[in-house]
Chains A and B, each alone.
Chain A
């Protein structure tokens, strides 16, 4: 495990000591090399953790998310090259150091064996994200966005800390393996209900749940591209991961405590998808679509069947890659036209046909086209929620319909139709951008061929 953590920590001195023209090359290359390491963890024959050390380990739930995080760092670095190229070298290096610091915290969060270590690193991820949003964001509203993001997450996670300390006092250890073995069944008293709530709220805010999602559109829209990518792809999955780690100790309260959150998620799915139909701002549309997809993950995590956990994990990986790809596409549009409005940049297929292909694939995976892993995840979640209650099929089915509607609307508005006059002289697509899209898309396609490696705890 140290081979991952130390290599990522060492990226920090590499940033500061590199020559100015070698920063990007060095970091991208080494980031890609580091991303090969989680591949070693994929071959797990039983459901024991790959116990690399007493503090950091990796099990079939962690490994796909770890792979996603490690794969995303070189992609974030590639995506940030354009908007940082006018800044002074030390500010560039500062930005990259923030990203690397975030990466270190994320890797250790996913690999933590002990829940307190997980919590500390969970909170640590907030700081570099906040700095990236508020200092390098685009508009004046970014301060508001940063404040929303920070305080929503902090307020949600403070009760979690108290509960973790209480459970530690009670059980003696918060190691994940021990928890699954020694957890006692909770009784349905007020204090245990509050314990359930306190543990879950942090992750509900992070996912985000429909009623607590106000921070997400703001943070996503105001963040620079790397911030949006990491927020959409990884930070939201921290919530799902945390929920799946904590639910073994919260049995059997989840059966009835989860009802309000399940209702909110099912309703919120449709609400946020409908908001997407009305959006004019491209980044805002993708942000609301993230809320909608994550609502499915919340439903899956709260139903707690083996299939639903599998569906949740697959959906998390698939959505991470798709959402990040959509943000990169929106950003490439923004860098050229300096506007995030969809209707001011229409008919791009005639100008940039290859980029139109990436747009097409991203929108297809967003609407969960078979046989991509997006569909696998959604199908598993829909099936399990149907078996939990027949009525949920109305919500999930309607959500799939509306998702298809707004994804196709986004594609048709930006790519098809007559070209607008004022975008006839945009720069053609860079190789870097095409590479970025390819690197987002190829894992999705390859995983569609063998999704069993990301299927999680059940074989």
Chain B
């Protein structure tokens, strides 16, 4: 009988013994008493289904998540997943930001957004209260912004201030004499006019806002996941527009989230994707197929957001300006503000197009300070001739190369991708307002409180710039 088994095997009927042992192993694994690992453990992966997936967990992404949860009419209504590729936020623009908030913009929408943010930040403990956590201390320093204008920019500054006053910002114009009176440390050479924000302007701690949002949003039931979005699975359909043109409309229905340091990924089924990826927004948009088409068409219009590196330097100067110093933005583009109570200041300057540093890493170029920033600072504030640089860091602007203003709202062709990115350095201060606008767009279908239609994606294709003139 023992021979018969081997004979059967030799007849080529397959590995009978192997099959039997496999079946035995399977039965053993199902029997109680042994660990049943028939189903792999997926607790570290994001959920398989989420109604809204927010790509990017910085202040803009969390703000959108917060307002989505706040404005939904039933609690627990929408499932939101926030995907952030780096939990330490080491390269995210939010944490590396200077943290200023001002209403001195030329565009009314920007002014309204900053005004709303100011009231949000003032009442932050009502908005972001979590029962088990202590109240937030934003360390809001309401010292205001001081923008200086030379002869040729004076007229523009006057009209800007008019718009700002119309929108409700508390800004006043100052002549060089008034400047010298109020701020004795300033050298008004080359300054024709200055605008000084008296209320709702200043700087605050961006980490605190981020952590506060993070806590609140988690308590509202938003799922968090650390991972990288590697793929969008979408379905497309050809449709005819009213002018009988053929367009291909796409709809993302699955997001592949890849885990850190592994090849594992989780396909998350979703209805809406929000691109709040900051400096990396263009990559996410390219994954969704935005910009893949002949240039000059709507399909070929890429998202014009790219990372631009900006340096921030911290220096110590004991004879420097006093405690009431606002954030001063010089005519040359250099800016500085106080940092804390110990005669420390931080500041920097936006490089010109030719001087743009390479955004591949966040290394600091100290020569830039020596050659390009210090001379202007020393000119404007003579006390700064004897400053001592203590430290410096670099962060990314999610720079909108088209018109340096944010992109908000849905994409016309990839119909369920919403943008909340490209704010070119003022994203942090406009985050609450933008988050609310995107949430309103999703839940109600249109902007309800602040109309951000000049910030829609269509303007890149139509060539209509909504230029913001007061970028630092």
- Residues on A lying within 8 angstroms of B by beta carbon are 138-140, 143, 278-280, 337-339, 341, 343-347, 418-427
Contact = CB atoms under 8 A, between A and B. Distances in A.
Contacts of B51: 339, 341, 344
21 contacts: A138-B49, A278-B74, A280-B72, A280-B78, A339-B272, A341-B51, A343-B77, A344-B51, A344-B78, A344-B442, A347-B445, A418-B446, A419-B445, A420-B442, A421-B445, A422-B271, A422-B410, A422-B416, A423-B416, A425-B250, A425-B251
Contacts of A280: 72, 74, 76-78
Nearest to A417: B445
Interface string B250-287: 11011000000000000001111000000000000000
Interface SS majority for chain A = loop
B166 to A, nearest CB: 30
B79 to A, nearest CB: 8
Most-contacted residue by chain B among A343, A419, A427 (CB, 10 A): A343
A341 B79 CA distance: 9
A280 B73 CA distance: 9
Most-contacted residue by chain A among B72, B76, B416, B441 (CB, 10 A): B416
Contact of B48 (A139, A337, A344): A139
B455 to A, nearest CB: 15
Interface of B: 39, 42, 47-49, 51, 72-74, 76-79, 236-237, 239, 249-251, 253-254, 269-272, 410, 415-416, 418, 441-443, 445-446
A418 B448 CA distance: 14
B452 to A, nearest CB: 14
A279 B73 CA distance: 10
A341 B445 contact: no
A337 B442 CA distance: 14
Given A280-B74, A427-B237, A140 B250 contact: no
B441 A341 contact: no
A143 B442 CA distance: 32
Contact of B249 (A338, A346, A425): A425
Closest 5 CB pairs of A and B: A339-B271, A425-B249, A280-B77, A422-B416, A338-B253
B272 A425 contact: no
A422 B418 CA distance: 9
A425 B445 contact: no
Contacts of A278: 74
B410 to A, nearest CB: 5
B445 A344 contact: no
Nearest to B73: A343
Given A338-B269, A341-B77, A421 B249 contact: no
A83 to B, nearest CB: 12
B271 A421 contact: no
B247 to A, nearest CB: 9
B239 A421 contact: no
Contacts of B250: 425
B266 to A, nearest CB: 11
A217 B400 CA distance: 47
Contacts of B445: 346-347, 418-421
A319 to B, nearest CB: 25
Given A338-B269, A338-B271, A426 B49 contact: no
A139 B45 CA distance: 13
A425 B237 contact: yes
A140 B236 CA distance: 28
Contact of A425 (B49, B415, B441): B415
Contacts of A343: 72-73, 77-78, 443
B74 A423 contact: no
Nearest to A341: B51
Nearest to B443: A343
A421 B74 contact: no
